[in-house]
A and B are shown apart, each in its own frame.
Chain A
Amino acid sequence: GQQVMQIPQYQHVQEGEDFTTYCNSSTTLSNIQWYKQRPGGHPVFLIQLVKSGEVKKQKRLTFQFGEAKKNSSLHITATQTTDVGTYFCAADYNDYKLSFGAGTTVTVRA
């Protein structure tokens, strides 16, 4: 089946620093979504990107969708301890199923 690649798998960040996680698909996406899963919890929807080149912001989180609609990124600035968790991108290939990336697990050192 279609897959979306996500890197890095782990991100250990100093509190206050920035980091970025990337997702890439070999085929064009209908849309891409981002989810956050806290340790022991279930994935929670963060945002959906639909348009080519779209950029959306949620406070310290910036989400981008590539011009070709094949890649996306999540950039977090001034990381806080509340940002701990695993961030997944989820690719929608317009077949009603979501294909999840491997996830980026973020840990924060104070």
Chain B
Amino acid sequence: GAVVSQHPSWVICKSGTSVKIECRSLDFQATTMFWYRQFPKQSLMLMATSNEGSKATYEQGVEKDKFLINHASLTLSTLTVTSAHPEDSSFYICSARVVGFSTEAFFGQGTRLTVV
């Protein structure tokens, strides 16, 4: 199957700082990537859909100015958590679906963010 690489796998940052998470499709081109957030023992909540070369589409209730998404190329999408606060601590996961190949979603390894 296709490989999605997410980096970093974990990060600790201070309140008020920004953190960038990268999501790369290694062996395919991903025109669309999805960013999820997962709290402990809970499901994956879709935050936004990242489209290459255009603005991301955010789900209701997700602050687009706080969670900046950039999808500048067909193999890279980034999520920047700006002015992070402890309540932003969570597990963030990206995924991609390959159009015309399969409709399964390939997930990155996830990023465990802890804001102190």
Residue positions of A touching B, CB distance < 8 A:
1, 31, 33, 35, 41-45, 48, 88, 90, 92, 96-103, 105
In the bound complex, residues from chain B placing their C-beta under 8 Å from that of A99 are 46
Name B108's contact: one of A42, A90, A98 (CB within 8 Å): A42
B43 touches A45 (CB 8 A): no
Please name 24 pairs of A and B residues whose Cβ atoms are closer than 8 Å in the assembled complex, sorted by A. A1-B59, A1-B60, A33-B103, A35-B105, A42-B93, A42-B107, A42-B108, A42-B110, A43-B93, A43-B105, A43-B107, A45-B105, A48-B103, A48-B104, A90-B105, A96-B32, A96-B97, A97-B49, A98-B34, A100-B45, A102-B42, A102-B43, A103-B42, A103-B43
When C-beta atoms are compared, the residue in chain B nearest to A44 turns out to be: B107
- Tell me whether chain A's interface is mostly helix, strand or loop, or mixed: strand
In the bound complex, residues from chain B placing their C-beta under 8 Å from that of A45 are 1, 104-106
Interface size on B, residues (CB 8 A): 24
Q: State the CA gap A110–B44 with chains docked (Å).
A: 29
| Those of B29-48 within 8 Å (CB) of chain A | 32, 34, 36, 41-46
B103 touches A31 (CB 8 A): yes
Q: Is B109 part of the binding interface, using a Cβ–Cβ cutoff of 8 Å? A: yes
Report if A88-B104 is in contact (Cβ < 8 Å); known contacts: A1-B59, A42-B109, A97-B49: no
Report if A100-B44 is in contact (Cβ < 8 Å); known contacts: A45-B1, A90-B105: yes
In the bound complex, residues from chain A placing their C-beta under 8 Å from that of B107 are 42-44
In the bound complex, residues from chain A placing their C-beta under 8 Å from that of B110 are 41-42
Among A48, A90, A98, A99, residue most surrounded by chain B Cβ atoms (within 10 Å): A98
Having A33-B105, A103-B43, one finds 11 other A-B pairs with CB under 8 Å, namely A31-B103, A33-B103, A33-B104, A42-B107, A42-B109, A43-B44, A43-B107, A48-B103, A100-B36, A100-B46, A103-B42
Scan B64-99; emit 1 where CB is below 8 A from any A CB, else 0: 000000000000000000000000000001010100
In the bound complex, residues from chain A placing their C-beta under 8 Å from that of B42 are 102-103
